[in-house]
Chain A
Amino acid sequence: MKALKELIVRLYPTEATALMVPGKPDISYQQLVESFKKISTQLADLGIKPGDRIGICSASKSDTIIVIGACLMADMIYVPMEAHQAVSRNCAIITSNGLRAILFDPLITVSYEQHISVDSRSTILNLDFIGLALESQNEIIIHPDLAFILNTSGSTGMPKGVMITHQNAWSFIQWTTRQYRFLTSDRFASIAPLHFDLSVFDVFVALHTQATLVLFDASMAKNPLILAQYISEFQISILYSTPSLLSSLVDFGKLSNHTYLRLRYIFFAGEPYPIEKFKQLHTQIPHASYSNWYGPTETNVVTYYNMPIDVQTMTQSIPIGKTCAHMDSLMKQDPDSNLSELLICGPSVSPGYFNSRNLTDQSFILVDGRNWYKTGDLVTIDENGDYIFHGRKDRMVKRRGYRIELDELQHHFCTYPGVIQGAIVAKTRDNLVVIYAVYKSIQLNSLLDIRNFMLDRLPLYMIPDHFIRRDALPLTSTGKIDLQVLISSI
């Protein structure tokens, strides 16, 4: 049996609490398992077959998790989507992932109806089930072990669908449970949205441990005051998040108003954690064990660095650490610098991007029959054998843990009416990635209007921080915009 399916099927239907949602009744393992079975049958009755892709576009994490379990039980492939992002971007995902059906929050269904060809309608849980009329498309070959697809920013202007197999996710889950000790009495926090790869840990490791998963929705995750209060009230013991979110807890959450005695492990990933910011968190919650995890969506976690107890003397940047026991890594000399690109191989490496041989061939390379992922991340190795992250080979940046391809932004920005020339560049200021849109245009534009134009096409976390109008942009000898000169001129 496929690994994640087995994890779901083998859950003990006990009275113990599986899911907690602030302000709502708890859901026991018994109720959860019953829901998985019920929804799984309903989906099959609606004509969804093994291998079909189902989009889940809901702000309700508990509903989403029930659909996820139901899909895994019935060998269907789920595609978690951000409910409140640009309709056009979700429509691009619907098409490129060849979705057979989508489950919408009833509030948002109407904004999609004119863009998709509705074949059937029903209601599942509290969600609108929309069956899609599939256009005749070339037969897509589905990887036999495919479990779900996570869509991330793509440099062409279209999101890329990272295929995650049962084996990919399972090998990561197994690694975490061998490396750390999780207990059925643990309370895992689910802070990351379910379309973000950090959530794979929260959901599956909590269920596999038969522990309790406490679900925080997007509005709670954005409000550090509420989050700090809930982490304390719900006695969270395991927390996995981005450095940005942890820093916002320190800066704005008034952490000292509460105690966090049960907090045992805090894992962070998605971007570098500046050491001085980390020390501030450590001072507030000194008794927890901390680990820096590293790995792109395509590989999940591949290296880890368990923070030493005495962090206050650390001055260097936090290493991304050593390769996980189940993975392999190697360094490939980068021709443009004295750094090396990190290449990753092993059971958690994705087989590639959904229905895109081209993109897959650009980032993955077969060596002696083994599939290596070229991370594009530049590293060195220190005297302890720990990897140190230095930056990117390409134009991808990370903000609050989210991947942003600057070229995806630029692609859309340059279509704004009146923009003659435009470029998107990023700079790091006070440890924060700041994104600038620099452009030449016919007339002065309302910044609000440009911002709204971008929001119609892209998620909020991608929108540039500053829009700068210039009389001319610097050009290279070949007539392209000289990004290096442009960056230094800001």
Chain B
Amino acid sequence: MSVDSSTVKKVASLARIALTDAQADALVPELNSIIGWVEQLGEVDVAGVEPMTAVIPNHLRLREDVVTDGAIRDKVLANAPQAEHGFFAVPKVIE
């Protein structure tokens, strides 16, 4: 599989990274060389092999249903680029 400039732009739009045409063009050979290289994995016989789910055998622990957090609005908003009336503010969204 090889990517072209329009694929790069589509992927960048999915990832919400603005790219100029020149940047997209420059990424084409870079991404193609990386993607072409990782495609060697296709040759590995993985018949009957399960994808890894836990790096080290371990079980998912569950917490108890207790309120232990929250009520820290100042901390939550402390680094906000724009906070007003206790909310985060963003450009108006039209739904």
Bind each other: no
